[in-house]
Amino acid sequence: MRNVIVILFVLLVTGCAGHQAIKGEYEPATVVRENLEKEFDTIPAPALGKVSVAVYNFKDLTGQRRPAPPGTTSFSTAVTQGADALLIKSLQDVGRGEWFDVVERTGLDNLLKERQIIKQMREAYEGSTAKPLMPMKFAGLLFEGGIVGYDSATRSGGAGMRVLGIGPQSQYSEDIITINLRAISVNTGKVLASVNVQKTVYSTADSIAVLKFYDQGTQVFEFEAGITLNEPATLAVKAAIDSAVVELIKEGERKDVWDFKE
């Protein structure tokens, strides 16, 4: 009977620990995300219409590898290698799509090859009267930068308590991702605006442990359970890029690169 009571108590405390981890981790993240999305969507449109921009690359410059168990080697990177796609999507969506016209440059070789194929086919079937392709649109600004920093375990800690061999334990760890984004004039090569944005990546772990001796210390009952929550690094990079785009727009307005529509 006593063992049954102990097991029920363990299950109850484990459920509370899991609920606490989920509540503590995701509710603040939801609030932060909603605030960012609101500013991302409601930033005023440019006074002179959309700005034509190009993104050639936006790379992971950290070289950071994903943590691996001791004695093993990890070949996976800590952050996404497709940040340029996230940046292009962010530029298209910021301000409800009223800010930037993004021209294709990351796949420029493929685009030029396809245009060449179309040109050859038209000349083969239509001869000298073949209709030429429309000229490609050029960009007035280049957006450059990348993921310039990934600092692991910048802050970590935890707390635990046991009473009669039974008690919970909580641990947390914080990593920091740093994004650099800058706008460069194609006409002059001048860096018109540049911003650095940091995003914290949270990891939490809650567990419950039971260690009991009975039958005059000849028998032992040991139980441990827990839950670990790690914020996805790709979502953290996306949030940092969205924030960097908003901050770059504000920086450009302060430096008279563009003006907000009244």
In a domain, 37, yes or no: yes
In a domain, 260, yes or no: no
Structural domain span for residue 152: 2-65+74-254
CATH code, domain carrying 34: 3.40.50.10610
Residue 18 has pLDDT above 50, yes or no: no
In a domain, 50, yes or no: yes
Task: Give CA–CA dist 238/37, Å, rounded.
Answer: 12
In a domain, 139, yes or no: yes
Residue range 121-179, pLDDT digits in tens: 988 888 888 888 898 999 999 999 999 988 888 888 888 888 877 888 888 888 899 99
* Number of domains observed in the structure of the chain: 1
In a domain, 195, yes or no: yes
Compute the average pLDDT of residues 245-250.
94
In a domain, 39, yes or no: yes
Residue range 184-232, pLDDT digits in tens: 999 999 999 999 999 988 888 888 888 887 777 778 888 888 888 888 8
In a domain, 261, yes or no: no
pTM to 2 decimal places = 0.77
